[in-house]
Amino acid sequence: MTEQPLLIAETLGKNYGARIGCRDVALEVYPGEVLAVVGESGSGKSTLLGLLSTELEPSAGRVSYRLRDGSLRDLATLGAAERRLLMRTDWGFVRQNPADGLRMAVSAGGNVGERLMAVGRRHYGDIRTEALDWLGRVEIAADRIDDDPRSFSGGMRQRLQIARNLVTRPRLVFMDEPTGGLDVSVQARLLDLVRSLVSEMGLAVIIVTHDLAVARLLSHRMVVMRQGRVIETGLTDQVLDDPREPYTQLLVSSVLAA
Amino acid sequence: MTTATLGGMPAITYNFAYLDEQTKRMIRRAILKAIAVPGYQVPFAAREMPMPYGWGTGGVQVTAAVLGPDDVLKVIDQGADDTTNAVAIRGFFEKTAGVATTTATTEATVIQTRHRIPETPLRDDQILVYQVPIPEPLRFLEPRETETRQMHALEEYGLMHVKLYEDIARHGHIATTYAYPVEVAGRYVMDPSPIPKFDNPKMDDCPALQLFGAGREKRIYAIPPHTRVRSLDFEDHPFEVQRFAQPCALCAARGVYLDEVILDDRGGRMFVCSDTDYCESRQAAGHRGEMAPPDAALPQPVSPRGEDATRVSDDASSDLSASARGRPAGAGAGAGTGAGTGAGGTEAGHD
Ligand SMILES: Nc1ncnc2c1ncn2[C@@H]1O[C@H](COP(=O)(O)OP(=O)(O)OP(=O)(O)O)[C@@H](O)[C@H]1O
Ligand SMILES: [Mg+2]
Ligand SMILES: [Zn+2]
């Protein structure tokens, strides 16, 4: 981990009308760091992820990001073109529902190749070679390259999402419950894969989960949310082994008891 | 107002070219904007026309807006002047605008077309008006219009190449043969309407003004004269037009777009120009293909192709355009024998 944060959120808040999505969130993510956002349903995890990734507009506060040239930019000041370029090159998004993160009617190769074509690559053979390489890295057989994800299992779809996102070698990946809805053995394999890719590529990841075991396995640090606020933050092992907040203590003990 | 008279009786009166002046001004403003931003789809308040969508209402409105009393109008459908659709639209403007009409490409000042660009090179005093069924080239992969609009605005066209990638992955080559996407003036990606890709190169640096009207979807776009129009492709799968192994069976023309015509139910067939005016002009000038009728049969305006001939078609709507004079029209199924021909790559609708 280097000294300068990659992403900084300050006094970040989002209201949905009178309802609070999240409020007064401050956090930092460093290059190569995996940050888990945990909390019960409705605590504001997805809202926070949406704000950090600029998919939602904040009601308060701001998010800054360090571009590849080293400059720290308030994301609200980026133009639409610059922001969207960032989203499809330097960032990745792995969704809980693969249909939100994949083109279900496009072949696996086309799904992986899309970002390459989006940044101007125009050599079919090269794009295909790179797509094959990435399918291999996420353990999808080469002979599935021309099949579309409708014929894939849930675990394969998530692995395809990962390949599709990592092909442009992003520095930051957002994941919202990437293992939700998968059965345990499939989950374990996916988490293993994510873990090795993260360390291999030095990826920073912000992962939303309400599964503390996922947080334990993947993340270096975690934030605990409740009713839209971050109530506890720290190194993952510390938070899980020695929670300070009563709510976190309850959360951890109930999981461990279960 | 133009008053048409039929047999001395005062007939229904129409405003010149049917549309009222205010509507025509509105359409002209959209056209001017479209010319100013080549390839960009300009929304316009399309009017109800006295014909159903799918019969070229978009093209008809554009034609109505650009037509002047001195214009000479030609209307083609799949390259033919004599299909029901073409005849109906030509008749519509004869009646409502009283303009002269022609089947000769060289004589026309305004040409409304469905699915073809004439073989005879166009001039700078001509306007080509295309009927467009689906104006949005990105739609097949991105159905959300808010998103496709963003993509155009930000010049994010990676998705167009995803479509071509899929083609190659599935067919070994770019199998899109109709409505093949183009980049206009180095900026907007545009659907050229369901013309065969054979015609794509004719759009590039064309001296004539090219206007595109989509009635159902209320969009107008344009290619100004002498604009760079490039067909999208990959470095290792460059754009190619269909090639035909044989010349036209009637006029012996090569390097033109041919339709396959079934002559009988015993497998008899021939390949003939899809552009009827071009073919007939060549025959009138003495060019003879191997199945051309003897000289004596010409130059009658009667089709030499035989009353029973059936144009091969994969277009369910082709029955709408059955020939009025024995040259049956069809979808022009792409009779070429070169790569990428055969059944139409994308659907080829009317409008
Ligand atoms: N689009 C919306 N409109 C109105 N309220 C919303 C909207 N999205 C979220 N909320 C509310 O904001 C709060 C936080 O929701 P959010 O989806 O961020 O929670 P979460 O922690 O991701 O929950 P889950 O674990 O169930 O996914 C909840 O009270 C929720 O009802
Ligand atoms: Mg959520
Ligand atoms: Zn001919």
What's the longest Cα–Cα distance across chain B?
Answer: 66
Ligand 1 binding pocket (C-beta < 6 A) is: A 16, 19, 21, 39, 41-47, 210
* Type of residue numbered B54: G
Q: Per-residue pLDDT for B92 more than 80? A: yes
**Mean pLDDT along residues A194-214:** 94
Closest ligand 1 atom number to CA of residue A48 = 18
Take residue A199 and report the two structure tokens written for it.
């360390």
**Annotation says B273 is catalytic:** yes
The ligand 1 atom at the shortest distance from the C-alpha of residue A208 is: 22
The mean pLDDT of chain B is: 85
Chain B residue with minimum CA distance to A127: B165
Give yes or no: B326 in active site.
Answer: no
pLDDT digits 0-9 by tens, B205-247? 999 999 999 999 999 999 999 999 999 999 999 999 999 999 9
Q: Using one digit for the tens of pLDDT, what is the confidence trace for A206-243?
A: 999 988 999 999 999 999 999 999 999 999 999 999 99
Q: How far apart are the first and last CA of chain B?
A: 27
- Model pLDDT, residue A21: 96
**Per-residue pLDDT, B218:** 96
Out of B58, B206, B248, B332, which one is annotated catalytic? B248
Q: Which residue of B has its CA nearest to A118?
A: B158
Domain architecture of chain B: domains with CATH: 21-226 (3.40.50), 246-294 (no CATH)
Strands B258-262 and B269-273: antiparallel
Q: What is the pLDDT of residues B163-201, one digit of tens each?
A: 999 999 999 999 999 999 999 999 999 999 999 999 999
Q: pLDDT band at residue B56, thresholds of 50, 70 and 90?
A: confident
B166 and A107 within 8 Å at the Cβ level: the answer is: yes
| Dihedral of alpha carbons A235, A240, A246, A251, sign | positive
Please give the pLDDT value at position A3.
Answer: 77
DSSP code at position B80: B
Using pLDDT thresholds of 50, 70 and 90, give the confidence band for residue A23: very high
Instruction: Return the percentage of chain A with pLDDT > 90, whole number.
Output: 90
**Residue B303: what pLDDT?**
47
Fold of A1-90+173-258: Rossmann fold (3.40.50)
Asked whether B110 and B152 are in contact (CB, 8 A), the reply is no
What are the residue boundaries of the structural domains of chain A, listed by start? 1-90+173-258, 102-169
Which pLDDT value is given to residue B140? 86
CA atoms within 13 A on the CB side of A128: 20
Cβ-nearest to A106 among B166, B168, B237: B166
ipTM: 0.91
pLDDT in tens, B126-163: 999 999 999 999 998 899 999 999 999 999 999 999 99
CB contact under 8 A, A110 and B162: yes
Q: State the smallest CA–CA distance between residue B237 and chain A in angstroms.
A: 7
Bridge partners of A176?
A: A208
CA distance A63 to A91: 14
Q: Would you call B235 and A123 a contact, using CB atoms and an 8 Å cutoff? A: yes
For residues B106, B111, B117 and B120, what is the CA-based torsion angle, rounded to 10 degrees? 0
Residue B258, SS3 per DSSP:
strand
Mean pLDDT in residue range A20-42? 96
The residue of chain B with its CA nearest to that of A110 is B162
Task: Write the DSSP symbol of residue B183.
Answer: E
Q: A100-109 pLDDT, tens per residue?
A: 999 999 999 9
A176 Cα–ligand 3 center, Å: 62
pLDDT (0 to 100) of residue A206: 98
- Check residue B335 and give its pLDDT: 41
Tell me what pLDDT residue A181 has: 81
Least confidently predicted of B9-23, B115-129, B256-270: B9-23
Q: How far apart are CA B211 and CA B208, in angstroms?
A: 10
More confident residue, B294 or A248: A248
Within 8 A of B230 by CB-CB distance, chain A residues are none
CB pairs under 8 A between A and B: 57
Active site residue B206: no
Peptide bond just before B224 cis, omega within 30 deg: no
User: Please, are residues B32 and B183 in contact by the beta-carbon 8 Å criterion?
Assistant: no
Report how far ligand 2's centroid is from the alpha carbon of B312 (Å): 56
Contact residues for B344 (Cβ-Cβ < 8 A; gap 6+)? B177, B178, B194, B314, B315, B331, B333, B334
